[in-house]
């Protein structure tokens, strides 16, 4: 069976909708005087927080999510820094999700601001996924005054990549007969699931685009990239049969360690976070998976346990990004002042790229 087809032989029609700079766009909508200006949602520039979302006007100056707000301020001192208002974002997200359900019950939310839709069969009996995607974008704007970008393809991988091709307010359609050429021409940086470290490794092997990746056989890719090699092999060929899961189970992936002795040294803890972030990144790439919410768990010597979390505007499994965000979250604790007994890092709001990874993924390094 062709990977773009359902069991009955019909071609699947998948839409991936991704809101444009969602948190920042909500702020600009609710504060008309901020429209057209660089808006940065996250911590205070004088504090220890990180950027959650940056408007497109701020991105011109190099500001991006997961960046320390102090660094964002240096890059864009005239930016408008605002704290996150999650109730406002949830309200807008609920309106957007209702639009999706007008067309299909097969909606798989990935976070507040993005979702997959399977419109192969839909409530409007419209045979054109392209027209449905255009209508969805229009209704979202009419009801929320927010723009969305959409990708249409024969499977989830292609639809997700397509939604990022023409941001903001874009619509990219990859029909089944164009999928092979599209993937062969696609810059390897655009392949969803290829992080910074993997990108460097691939480029070192002369893999610059999908056609280059396609030249490598399955055995070679698994030898080089481990289990992730299977994923790269399949995606280079558009072999993605994952269904849109309308009842998606919340997933997380994390590791934690109880130290043999309570730790007070700041440098030791920072080095430990770097190593733990690398281990988590490697594990997530093996699945492969990426998460939007990073959570730090800390237990002091008196067994008091605290947690600090940050939701990004994108999925990540990059070790350096996980480490950076965790270290920023750590600044909101009393580490270095109070001995630490346990430290853990987890990522949630996952996008899982394998069908068999449906259960909670929580590993422990307790000793």
Active-site residue, from 57, 114, 321, 328: 114
For residue 171 the two structure tokens come to 């619509």
CA distance 3 to 241: 6
Q: Are 294 and 350 in contact (CB under 8 A)?
A: no
Q: Which of 233, 136, 243, 245 is nearest to 191 (CA)?
A: 233
CA distances from 108 to 17, 18, 46, 156, 348 (A): 10, 12, 38, 11, 15
Q: How far is CA 271 from CA 1, 85, 195, 274, 329, in A?
A: 49, 33, 22, 5, 15
The distance of Cα 91 from the centroid of its chain, to the nearest Å, equals: 21
Can you tell me the distance from the alpha carbon of 174 to that of 190, in angstroms, rounded to the nearest whole number?
Answer: 15
Contact 132, 103 (CB under 8 A): yes
Beta carbons of 295 and 308 less than 8 angstroms apart? yes
Is 282 among the residues known to form the active site? Answer: no
- Token pair, residue 21, equals 């700079």
Sheet holding 39-42: strands in order across? 51-54, 39-42, 80-82
In this structure, the strands spanning 114-118 and 14-19 are antiparallel
Q: Which residue has the tokens 């639009």?
A: 99
* Residue 33 DSSP label: G
Q: Could you identify the residue written with the tokens 């990549």?
A: 161
- Residues designated as active site: 114
């Amino acid at each position: 069976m062709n990977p773009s087809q359902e069991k009955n032989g019909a071609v699947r029609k998948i839409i991936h909708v991704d809101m444009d700079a969602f948190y920042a766009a909500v702020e600009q909508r609710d504060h008309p005087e901020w429209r057209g200006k660089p808006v940065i949602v996250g911590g205070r520039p004088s504090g220890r927080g990180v950027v959650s979302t940056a408007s497109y006007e701020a991105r011109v100056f190099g500001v991006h999510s997961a960046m320390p707000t102090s660094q964002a301020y240096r890059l864009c001192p005239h930016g408008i820094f605002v704290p996150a208002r999650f109730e406002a974002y949830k309200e807008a997200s609920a309106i957007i999700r209702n639009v999706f359900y007008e067309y299909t019950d097969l909606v798989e939310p990935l976070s507040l601001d993005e979702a997959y839709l399977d419109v192969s069969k839909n409530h409007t009996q419209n045979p054109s996924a392209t027209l449905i995607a255009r209508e969805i974008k229009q209704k979202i704007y009419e009801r929320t005054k927010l723009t969305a970008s959409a990708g249409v393809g024969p499977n989830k991988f292609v639809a997700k990549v397509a939604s990022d091709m023409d941001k903001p307010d874009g619509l990219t359609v990859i029909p089944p007969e164009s999928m092979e050429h599209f993937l062969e021409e696609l810059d390897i940086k655009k392949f969803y699931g290829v992080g910074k470290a993997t990108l460097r490794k691939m480029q070192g092997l002369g893999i610059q685009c999908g056609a280059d990746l396609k030249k490598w056989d399955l055995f070679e890719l698994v030898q080089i990239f481990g289990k992730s090699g299977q994923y790269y092999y399949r995606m280079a060929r558009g072999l993605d049969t994952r269904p849109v899961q309308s009842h998606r189970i919340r997933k997380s992936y994390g590791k934690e360690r109880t130290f043999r002795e309570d730790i007070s040294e700041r440098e030791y803890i920072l080095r430990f976070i770097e190593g733990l972030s690398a281990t988590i990144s490697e594990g997530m790439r093996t699945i492969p998976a990426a998460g939007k919410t990073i959570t730090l768990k800390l237990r002091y010597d008196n067994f008091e346990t605290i947690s600090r979390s940050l939701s990004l505007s994108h999925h990540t499994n990059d070790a350096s990004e996980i480490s950076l965000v965790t270290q920023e979250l750590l600044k909101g604790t009393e580490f270095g002042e109070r001995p630490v007994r346990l430290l853990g890092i987890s990522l949630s709001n996952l996008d899982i790229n394998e069908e068999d990874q449906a259960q909670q993924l929580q590993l422990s390094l307790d000793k």
